[in-house]
């Protein structure tokens, strides 16, 4: 099956993803415990403005506001909107401001349920949840799906299988890892390189690493992986280790530091680069400038 979006990515041009969303929504008044996905219906102006700013900064790919838009997480948050409502609205808001030649990725995060021995969920249950979400995002008109922030390879595989059941869109699957003296591992003990290779073998069109790591840590891990990941690779680090200051969470890495740390990956022609927690359109604009492209928030 052809994957037209990723086929277009095979030009050797580094593709820019977007950056964080959560901190911007919290700053805009999102209440603690409230599902961010609900703002696609309650505050669509805020969500769409952020998408617009990321595209203006230079993002080739913007993720929908649907990270937790699966049945389990929406129920846990007490959200009054359904999977279908949040996914269709999230897809539409990004799609309607997508410039020509850019892409919308349906964002798919973890279910919040744990597999044994930590919890009692089963993989088929997770797969069904992901299938429902992927189906709604595909019907909403996204160009590809991005499964992200997975800390258990088994759940990432379930998400990939669910996405494949739901639609024929290209799928990128990203893990979140910690760097240790023995290498990079998820909290469930999955080694980064072997896990990303397994996801490619499972049928992912691309793989990635996001969250948890700072820009310098992410650059080091991605360089360490070297040729072990034989496929399209996306990295989206945090803007450093979060700190509590004056009762709010702040991230220490500004755009200049962040972009300088990722410079080796840009020069190496990595598939995709963006940001996760604490990053802003300013961080993406900085990456765009280092790549010699027009862009600015």
Alpha-helical (H) ranges within 11-96 are: 22-27, 39-42, 44-57, 71-76, 83-95
Write 177-184 long-range contacts (CB < 8 A, 24+).
177/209, 177/212, 177/213, 177/221, 178/212, 178/213, 179/213, 179/217, 179/220, 179/221, 183/224, 184/209, 184/221, 184/224, 184/225
Q: Which residue, among 25, 2, 34, 20, has the nearest Cα to 62 in the 3D structure? A: 20
Cα 274 from Cα 255, distance rounded (Å): 12
Beta bridge partners of 244: 249
The pTM for the full model equals 0.95
Is 153 in contact with 207 (CB distance < 8 Å)? no
**Taking 80 as the threshold, does the pLDDT of residue 294 lie above it?**
no
Query: Which tens digits make up the pLDDT trace of 76-131?
Result: 999 999 999 999 999 999 999 999 999 999 999 999 999 999 999 999 999 999 99
Give the domain ranges of the chain: 4-290
By the 10 Å C-beta count (0-12 exposed, 13-18 middle, 19+ buried), 189 is classed as exposed
CATH code that applies to domain 4-290: 3.20.20.330
Query: Which tens digits make up the pLDDT trace of 233-264?
Result: 999 999 999 888 777 788 999 999 999 999 99
Query: Which tens digits make up the pLDDT trace of 132-174?
Result: 999 999 999 999 999 999 999 999 999 999 999 999 999 999 9
């Amino acid at each position: 099956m052809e994957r037209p979006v990723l086929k277009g990515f095979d030009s050797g041009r580094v593709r820019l993803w977007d950056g964080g969303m959560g901190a911007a929504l919290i700053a805009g008044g999102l209440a603690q415990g409230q599902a961010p996905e609900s703002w696609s219906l309650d505050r669509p102006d805020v969500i769409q403005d952020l998408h617009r700013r990321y595209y203006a900064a230079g993002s080739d790919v913007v993720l929908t506001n649907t990270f937790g838009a699966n049945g389990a997480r929406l129920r846990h948050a007490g959200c009054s909107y359904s999977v279908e409502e949040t996914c269709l609205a999230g897809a539409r808001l990004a799609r309607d401001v997508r410039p020509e030649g850019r892409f919308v990725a349906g964002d798919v995060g973890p279910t919040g349920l744990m597999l044994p021995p930590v919890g009692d969920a089963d993989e088929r249950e997770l797969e069904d949840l992901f299938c429902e979400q992927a189906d709604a995002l595909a019907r909403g008109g996204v160009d590809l799906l991005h499964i992200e922030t997975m800390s258990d390879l088994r759940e990432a595989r379930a998400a990939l299988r669910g996405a494949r059941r739901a639609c024929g869109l290209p799928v990128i699957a990203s893990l979140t890892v910690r760097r240790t003296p023995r290498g990079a591992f998820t909290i469930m003990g999955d080694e980064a390189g072997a896990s990303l290779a397994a996801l490619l073998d499972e049928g992912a069109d691309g793989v990635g690493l996001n969250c948890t790591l700072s820009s310098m840590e992410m650059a080091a891990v991605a360089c360490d992986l070297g040729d072990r990941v034989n496929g399209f690779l996306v990295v989206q680090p945090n803007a450093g280790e979060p700190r509590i200051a004056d009762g709010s969470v702040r991230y220490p890495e500004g755009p200049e530091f962040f972009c300088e740390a990722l410079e080796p990956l840009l020069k190496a022609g990595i598939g995709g680069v963006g940001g996760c927690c604490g990053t802003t359109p300013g961080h993406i604009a900085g990456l765009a400038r280092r790549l010699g492209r027009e862009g600015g928030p």
